Structure 1
Amino acid sequence: MKCKIVFFDIDGTLVNEQKDIPQDTVEAIRELKASGVEPVVATGRAPYFIGPILEKLGIESYVCLNGGYVVYKGEPIYRFAIARDIMGKLVDKAEEHGHGLVYEGAEAYYANQETNTFMTDSVLSLKVNPPGYDPEFWQKEDVYQTFLHCEAQEETLYESLKDELTFIRWHECAMDVLPKGGSKAKGIEAMLNKLGYDASQAVAFGDGLNDKEMLEYVGFGIAMGNSHPDLLPYADYVTAHVDDSGIRRGLVKAELLPAKAVAAAHRGAGAV
């Protein structure tokens, strides 16, 4: 079936390590839109982290918070928050071990600690504003995802919660914590259902461990050349590095852009 829609991860996919969008990626997305195929962001980031990226690329719709919050052209169409009683268990466990949490709502995010080195290192690596401080935020608002700040060897401390929550490491100091069953694939499914598209009509690009489900789910899953090695078995195709026309080359492989465009592509970056 002909591709109707393409989902793009952000970090390591649309933006490079410097959090810049390569100019060739900007042009490739523009050409994709002109061909009548809709680009959509599918990211672990929250909505308030992605405005400049959406604007620069002219993208109107997104799957955010690892599938927990989905917006199509300004309209929220799907929400999957962490149940409050389960959040309470995570909060208690993190407090027991002195680990920092950041609660991500649909419109704002807040930390349970005023200062935390791990939190500073991980959150600022995204080049976004730091969270506010409100340890009780999770009791007042829906939380779709939580950052848990701990080292890899400490993950076993949360083993008892793995039947109710999904933990995905994205930084040496931090993990995403999602409701069990949550994933980018679930958010993508919600958007496809709204549009009346089949998964076979979708393509997705990603590079991280939180992209496994969506690359498996869509008709053609593309891993970036700079992907985590454990993602590669889930991809139908491995394209080039984000800074080496990886997006364009993947779109050419998916037969969504003409092959001759790759030769004409030029490298460079545009600040987000």
Structure 2
Amino acid sequence: MEKLLNRAKEIQIIFFDIDDTLRVKDTGFMPASMPQIFAALREKGILTGIATGRNLFGVVPEIRALNPDFFVTANGAYVVDKLDQIIYQHALPTTVVSELVAWLEASSSEYAFYGADEVVASAWSDTMRAAIAPIYGQLPVNPDYYLTHDIYQMESLSEHDDQLVLPEKLADKVRMVRWHPHSSDIVPMTGSKAEGVRQVLDKLGLSAANVMNFGDELNDVELFDLGGLSVAMKVSHPKILEMADYITDTVENDGIEKALKALNIL
């Protein structure tokens, strides 16, 4: 523990996942203490950021109200500061999106497009509703959305999502990250929350040793591998629990506050 406390002294910025980290995905519950925690971090001169698989559209008002300094969204593909100034963006090439659409349709899979601040579905079925509605509500439907908008991430959605395998012509361009039994994020091959966080660190002149991360799912793997201090929520995926420097309690039991106090950040 002494080594962790010494490393914690180097922390200058903290990134938080949203779902089941800051806020319970299925119920929307967020501890009443969170605004005070973010305010206390600001008073100590510690910057804050959101690092999420959601895009800006999915950063709900109560998260915005915490006034974080940075938003790393769409698994690192679209990054802005608190003034909505773009720090980094990496859209998928339209040719790649077109190939993905053709493959997903041939695989009897629905899909969703992530624009900068909009999520659009190929259809609105029971499978789509079960996976997406708890996060975004009902989505607009437009399978041709990608023809007129930049796409930063896609999602596959089907009852057989765990059986989908990228064709060879796409496997070196994008990768799939499971986040739901019926859905996977489809992101650029080098895309991850870690890449978005690196862009912020470079802008600030900070190193990985200065960053602390809170997360719970497989799209946090690269971020936990980045360096600094990584804190997993108690309900995290087993791989995240294995990678974590520190494991804290659940959202409902004030896990973030407990970890920040245990590590002498607050």
TM-score by length of 2: 0.90
| SS of aligned partner of 1:243 | coil
Trace 1:31-42 onto structure 2 (pairs within 5 A). 31-42=40-51
Paired residue for 2:3? none
For 2:254 and 2:119, the matched residues in 1 are separated by 33
Paired residue for 2:224? 215
For 2:262 and 2:76, the matched residues in 1 are separated by 26
How far is 1:25 from its partner? 3.1
Trace 1:104-253 onto structure 2 (pairs within 5 A). 104-113=114-123, 115-126=124-135, 128-151=136-159, 154-160=162-168, 161-253=170-262
The unaligned stretches of length 5 or more in structure 1 are 258-272
Paired residue for 2:64? 55
For 1:152 and 1:205, the matched residues in 2 are separated by 30
TM-score by length of 1: 0.88
Q: CA RMSD in A?
A: 1.7
For 1:40 and 1:154, the matched residues in 2 are separated by 31
Paired residue for 2:113? 103
How far is 1:151 from its partner? 3.4
Per mean C-alpha deviation after superposition, the further-off stretch among 148-157 and 159-168 is 148-157
Contact (CA 8 Å) 1:78, 1:190: kept in 2 or not? Answer: yes
Paired residue for 2:102? 92
The unaligned stretches of length 5 or more in structure 2 are 1-8
| SS of aligned partner of 2:53 | coil
For 1:87 and 1:155, the matched residues in 2 are separated by 20
- 1:92-142 Cα offsets, whole Å, 9 max, x none, are 1111122111111002222222x322111111121x232212211112211
Residue 65 (str. 1) matches residue 74 (str. 2) = yes
Say how many residue pairs are matched: 255
| SS of aligned partner of 1:14 | coil
- 1:160-179 Cα offsets, whole Å, 9 max, x none, are 33322111111122111101
**Which stretches of structure 1, 4 residues or more, deviate above 4 A after TM superposition?**
none
Per mean C-alpha deviation after superposition, the further-off stretch among 136-145 and 203-212 is 136-145
